[in-house]
Structure 1
Amino acid sequence: MTTTPLTTAPAATNPVLRVPPASPASAAAYFAASLAFHADVSDVAVALAAGGDPGFVVLDSRSAASWDQGHVPGAVHLPTALVPEQAEQLLDRSVPVVTYCWGPGCNGATRAALALAGLGYHVKEMLGGFEYWVREGFPYETPEGLRTRDADPLTAPVDTADCGC
């Protein structure tokens, strides 16, 4: 049986293949682990919109001023720096926590997730954070009430709720 090479360009000149892809088994383990640590905003929104208990709590790890600019409806507000001293009063260790911060350029949700895991909580990070929550057109809450923005066509489909992924 003949196999087709991944590329005809020499690996040394191809920046994508300069470091070869992982073996399929290593890739499967990596991507399975990634899904155990992350949830995307669409999946979180679908789970919350289904009604009832989604089986997790959403935690906004930003400052009070950021929270007031808008947050995921129903989220718990717990700034990252306050996790060690306040998590036990706000969260149930038996309920998984999904953390978020501003967006992909911010690691506050990652730091909050690390602090929570260190305290014994099961935790995932919401990829994209509040930025992608809003960009995908999901409702967000402010002191004035619920708001939404049109979905950004670069981040979400405009004619259907299902991106197909």
Structure 2
Amino acid sequence: MSSSVSRVPAAPSAQALAHFSRLLEFETDCWDVHHAISNHRQDFVLLDVRGYELFENGHIEGAVNIAHSRLNEKTLTSYPIETLFVVYCAGPHCNGTEKAAIRLAKLGRPVKKMIGGITGWIDEGFDLVKAKEYAQTTT
């Protein structure tokens, strides 16, 4: 008797390796982003693609806020074309990251999605900052 898990056989190992390796070309996670930021190894722009009010109420320290609907050549002019953008939104229930990633890809910009978004960040036990707090700590 088989379970619903094993009823469809797993892919051969070579296919699984290709699939999961390919996913990492498109995604990163909260832990890896936090580790890069905490260890001063941030070689990407962390882009919060939610609206400004949500960003103001709490975001990841160091993130830049450009709502996915406002991503265009003009809003990105200050970033070199090779800049890697890591996009995040509210969480798994939000498709803002996909919308942002599509816009960035159409503009020829390197992009990865931070899976989990704000929800994942909080689930990992990491802190958020409010826009006003962030402004006070950077001035």
TM-score by structure 2 length?
Answer: 0.88
Instruction: Give the secondary structure class of the aligned counterpart of 1:58.
Output: strand
Matched, 1:28 2:54: no
Higher relative CO (Cα under 8 Å, sequence separation at least 6) belongs to: 2
CA distance in 1, matches of 2:122, 2:74: 27
Could you say which residue in structure 2 is the equivalent of 1:80?
68
Instruction: Give the secondary structure class of the aligned counterpart of 1:114.
Output: helix
Once the two structures are TM-superposed, the CA of residue 90 in structure 1 deviates from its matched residue by: 4.6
Once the two structures are TM-superposed, the CA of residue 46 in structure 1 deviates from its matched residue by: 0.6
Residue correspondences, number: 134
Amino acid at match of 1:54: Q
RMSD of Structure 2 on Structure 1 (CA): 1.6
What do residues 8-55 of structure 1 show as CA deviations (whole Å, max 9, x unaligned)?
A: x24xxx21123211111110000000111111101100100112x511
> Are the equivalent residues in 1 in contact too, given 2:56–2:132 (CA < 8 A)?
no
Matched, 1:43 2:32: yes
Map 1:100-111 → 2, pairs under 5 A: 100-111=88-99
Identity percentage over the alignment?
Answer: 37
Unaligned runs of 5+ in 1: 1-8, 147-165
Once the two structures are TM-superposed, the CA of residue 114 in structure 1 deviates from its matched residue by: 1.4
TM-score by structure 1 length?
Answer: 0.75
Could you say which residue in structure 2 is the equivalent of 1:153?
none
Unaligned runs of 5+ in 2: 135-139
Runs of at least 4 residues of structure 1 off by over 4 A? none
Map 1:52-91 → 2, pairs under 5 A: 54-84=42-72, 86-91=74-79
CA gap 1:22/1:120 in 2 versus in 1, 3 angstroms: same
